[in-house]
Amino acid sequence: MVIGLMGFGTIGAGVYELAKELEELSIKYVLDIRQVEIPELTHRAEDLFEDAEVDTVVEVMGGLHPAYEFVSAALKAGKNVVTANKYLVATYYDELLALAKANGVAFRCTAAVGGGIGWLTALERVRRIEPINAVEGIMNGTTNYILSNMTQNGLSFDTALSEAQALGYAEADPSADIDGLDVKHKLLLSANIAFDVSLNVNDIFTAGIRSITDGDIKNFKERGLVCKLLGVACKEEGKVAAFVQPNLFPADALTASVPTNFNLITYDTAYTGRMSFYGQGAGRYPTGANVVQDLLDIVGGKEEFYSKEGAPCAIANEIVSFQYYLRTTSAKKDAVKAETWGDAVLTQKMSVAEMAKLLEEIKQEDPRAFIAAVRS
């Protein structure tokens, strides 16, 4: 396999190093805007698309543009594509899959969800013989690092976020992480593959952790609960729910114990039941290794995507209900209150769709409102 590598940042350098160790893989070009001291460097994207010797393009640039234009050009030029870019694949899911099929090439993105875990290939394997009922999990190491440090070490949100940024877990602008957008994109890929559907990423209800406070953590601890940000999708009687929100678990639950920047992602199937995958959700070598695994799968003859092209499917968040922790200054909380938790309330049981509507209304009065679903 002759490879054109787009991007030589943290992940790109990991892919480069790992691929160099394998005789099946040969990197001919590395596209980067910087003057990186490697012999394969090029500043012309066209080199990767126009060189007939290159059969596979790896995209680890990140972001939407010019990644979208470059990946589209590679597919149209008849190149296999491997990417770690969940934002790109979630945004242009149907279009990229159709381009790969039309041009008879492979398109793989295992590293886009779970970093080094290999989650999408696990879904691909199990779904061959078992209907998948649900997928859920901690899919973002940055938010898990923040919540773990607030809970275990008593750090404030701002201090925990600053530490995450200093360690390279969070970007200078952490919005994609703390507002749940990163998890939303990963959840879309997981749900589409698990259920053979095509969801609209903009329709996934998403509540992040930007507004969580020390007082919230104190409330949770007093009741033996731990807060984690999860993406959840499930299918019941042909309807699919998909949402991202903070959740409260008993302190002895498996999900509650996931430390620092680790991920824990779970599927629930008809025959096997629950199966969880735990590991590093990001990093040069964990993520780079899954990119290289995708390359080796293609070398071994893997041409299909992880699932069939799914039909468009409306999200039905009315099929899933929880009691919610709701902390807000808005009087609207009183209409749904079941009991008082300090300066917050525990709501009556309500569907995710109902909470999404209520939270939208509340945030117009109180932008710092915070919710978390109570899980058993």
| Catalytic residue from among 79, 86, 184, 186 | 186
pLDDT (mean) for 8-25: 97
Q: What is the pLDDT of residue 376?
A: 83
Which pairing describes strands 262-269 and 205-206: parallel, antiparallel, or unpaired?
A: unpaired
Please give the radius of gyration of the chain, using alpha carbons only, rounded to the nearest integer: 21
- Is it the case that residue 222 has pLDDT exceeding 90? yes
| DSSP string across 313-376 | --B-GGG-EE-EEEE-SSGGGGGTEEEEETTEEEEPPEEHHHHHHHHHHHHHH-TT-EEEEE--
pLDDT digits (tens, 9 = 90+) for 268-322: 999 999 999 999 888 899 999 999 999 999 999 998 999 988 999 999 999 999 9
- Distance, CA of 59 to CA of 75 (rounded, Å): 12
Amino acid in the structure at residue 291: V
Interval 105-137: pLDDT, tens: 999 999 999 998 999 999 999 999 999 999 999
pLDDT at residue number 40? 98
pLDDT in tens, 344-356: 999 999 999 999 9
Give the domains, in start order, of the chain with CATH numbers: 2-108 (3.40.50.720), 119-280+313-319 (3.30.360.10)
* pLDDT at res. 306: 97
Q: What is the mean pLDDT of residues 59-85?
A: 97
**Cα diameter, the chain:** 67
Q: Angle CA(110)–CA(111)–CA(116) in degrees, nearest 5?
A: 115
pLDDT digits (tens, 9 = 90+) for 132-184: 999 999 999 999 999 999 999 999 999 999 999 998 888 899 999 999 999 99
| pLDDT the model gives residue 171 | 87
The dihedral formed by the CA atoms of 121, 125, 130 and 134, expressed in degrees to the nearest 10: -10
Give the confidence band of 87 by pLDDT, cuts at 50, 70, 90. very high
CA distances from 247 to 157, 191, 273, 275 (A): 17, 19, 21, 19
Q: Is 186 considered catalytic here?
A: yes
